[in-house]
Amino acid sequence: MKFETPAGTNPIDRLKIVGKAINRVDGPMKITGTAPYAYERHDVAANQAYGYILGSAIAKGRIARIDSADAKAAHGVLAIVTTLDMPRLTLGRMNTASLFGGPDVQHYHQAIAVVVAETFEQARAAAQLLRVDYDRADGKFDLAAEAGSAPLVGGGGPTAPKENKVGDFAGAFAAAPVQLDATYRTPDESHAMMEPFATIAAWKGEMLTLWTSNQMIAWNKADVARTLGLKPENVRVDSPFIGGGFGGKLYTRADAILAALAAKAAGRPVRLAMQRPLMMNNATHRPGTIQRIRMGATKDGKIIAIAHESTSGNLPGGKPENAIQQTQILYAGANRLTSMRLAPLDLPEGNAMRAPGEASGLMALEIAMDEMAEKLGLDPVEFRIQNDTQVDPANPQRPFSKRQLVECLRRGSDLFGWRRRDARPGAMREGRWLIGMGMAAGIRNNLVAKSAARVRLSDRGIVTVETDMTDIGTGSYTIIAQTAAETMGVSIDKVVVKLGDSDFPISAGSGGQWGANSSTAGVYAACLNLREAVAQKLGLDATAANFEDGKVHDGHRSIRLGDAAKGGELVVEGVMEYGDLARQFQQSTFAGHFVEVAVDGLTGETRIRRMLAVCAAGRILNPKTARSQVIGAMTMGVGGALTEHLAVDPRFGLFVNHDLANYEVPVHADIPHQEVVFLDEVDDKSSPMKAKGVGELGLCGVAAAIANAVYNATGVRVRDYPMTLDKHLDRLPAIV
């Protein structure tokens, strides 16, 4: 099925099950501890041994020698594989950093050996007995030091323009009556997901099976095969439950490759979990940025010139953090300039983390909008509304498919009590606490991806869905069950959903805010094919048949759905592909974020008091699971604003706070009150589901809203995240 024209009325529009706040169908498994996560798959392979990874103690250089004699002689050790035992493995198509093999070290905690033993403790102890001689080399670890020589890079690949220009930015900015020129910095950040990278690997001849934690099954299968030199058909990946990913588990990581190598060397299945310090140094992270924003406006508040230039770093061959992308479409303005620079660094690989690009970019842009509003003497909400656009500013012939940013801001302003805000910084106080309100706009583009599914109908009327879509805590099981139930006209307890197995049809996978909309559209396509098969079996007209209450109705006849499978299970597949609607219409999701903070006037401590997100994101497939996604993203935004920062040791090139004791993420006590409102919206140009994504939108703009609230509370403008107390303590207003 190909989605080429806007969606008309279809079975999803009945909204008997889709659109309802249904509890997660996998919830009972999770609260009883029976959901099978990767490291806990005790039943999938007998006689499992334990693997332990040793990471490099240097960030740049070569390994001269690894003495493994003592480790091999240690009690319980079954096998040891070192990086010197083989040449550098082929790089996966989705990887920047080498995962294993060869003497060269690209970054700190690069995997250099795996030890296999009967128990985890034996493997860990033996790994400490490996003696490694290094030839250390000088590396580049400081983004600020390298930024001045960083070359321009195109965001769309090697053929993309180095600078995106619309109109005459330089001339318009120079002539603008009101100008802003400011630089903002965002830090390196870690995904810090609860579940570690973990894999159980087992071989049967040339066939490799990985029970792992990965967001994108098809990508993982292909890259494992490529890296290990296997035929893709000889690799099976199974990942039914994932304990958080946030983009960190989009790609094949060292745990999967080393578990496979270890299992081959030991001659038996091996389970392996990456220890927390390696999760932060061995795997990917969100790269830090240095962003310069220039803005020119008329005295009445119309933006006439805007430039956003960002510099980030990565390993050679890596990509920049695309922090300028939202600035290209969020606000009107005839004269525009955006560009990115990429500094080669010898830090761990920088790659996708929840809302890549927009999260970092809005941390800067939405402070700049507040700073310009203050220069103009305008309310920050009204300044944003005044510069709204319903078309792509660079291509006015290309409208937005649906854009309710103004409605998000107006509704949020009313619900939050924005009118009670005192625009004078430092004017609102409660004893020694300085009180402030801040807001920001949020945007995240809507992406869709080809997605397929297989559906089965039993003679008992049970519909079983099989697709390699993953559930990373987002509620995929539930919304897929809702889609199948709605389309086939059965109750949700008559639907069984099976996910995360590479033996199933390839779906969109979980990432980029495309998973929910795309995967359910693929299930919808498969269910339409099943409806046709059922009608044919029952001798009915598929176009006239009505599927409802577990029956198929055609005129005066009403036949039990399961009767279509009396002669044997009906099995069909379907796939949803997309035409060029995304090129004809700019498809995006929008939010208005509002925050109230209290800053201790004596200590500088910042506390979040309340948060509100008003979101416009197409049809909300399940308000309960969608709200969970948004409040989780809002919480992550608090971390980005106030606490989260991978601290780089510029001497040795490592993230020194590489555990959850020192990399501080927000906890429940930090987030007293959150409210989420979804605007009524369907986007018929997105998919037959008329939905969009929402899980990343909840993060976009939150950190800036907090920064703006802190400024409103204190009168101190901090442009360097996270806004730890040392960055404003000496400038706080006096407490009388």
Is the Cβ–Cβ distance between 111 and 65 less than 8 Å? no
> Concatenated DSSP letters for 104-131?
EE-STT-EEEEEEESSHHHHHHHHTT-E
Is the Cβ–Cβ distance between 252 and 156 less than 8 Å? no
Measured distance CA(381)–CA(379) in Å, rounded: 6
Residue tagged 């996998």 (tokens): 26
Query: Which runs of E-coded beta strand occur in 524-660?
Result: 546-548, 551-554, 557-560, 570-578, 588-600, 606-616, 648-649, 654-655
Question: Could you tell me which of 660, 659, 603, 669 has the C-alpha nearest to residue 638?
Answer: 669
Residue tagged 């308000």 (tokens): 623
Q: Which residues contact 208 (CB under 8 A, 6 or more apart)?
A: 201, 202, 224, 228, 230, 234, 235, 236, 260
- Bridge partners for 286 per DSSP: 189
Q: What does the longest C-alpha to C-alpha distance in the chain come to?
A: 84
Measured distance CA(227)–CA(191) in Å, rounded: 24
Check if 573 is active-site.
Answer: no
- CB hemisphere CA count around 170 (13 angstroms): 1
At position 469, the amino acid (one-letter code) is M
235-252 CB burial, b ≥16 within 10 A, e <16 = bbbbbbbbbbbbbbbbbb
Find the angle CA(208)-CA(210)-CA(216) to the nearest 5 degrees. 120
Selected catalytic residue, list 309, 349, 644, 696: 696
Cα torsion angle, 398, 402, 405, 407, sign = positive
Q: For residue 359, what are its two tokens?
A: 């999260």
The catalytic site residues sit at: 696
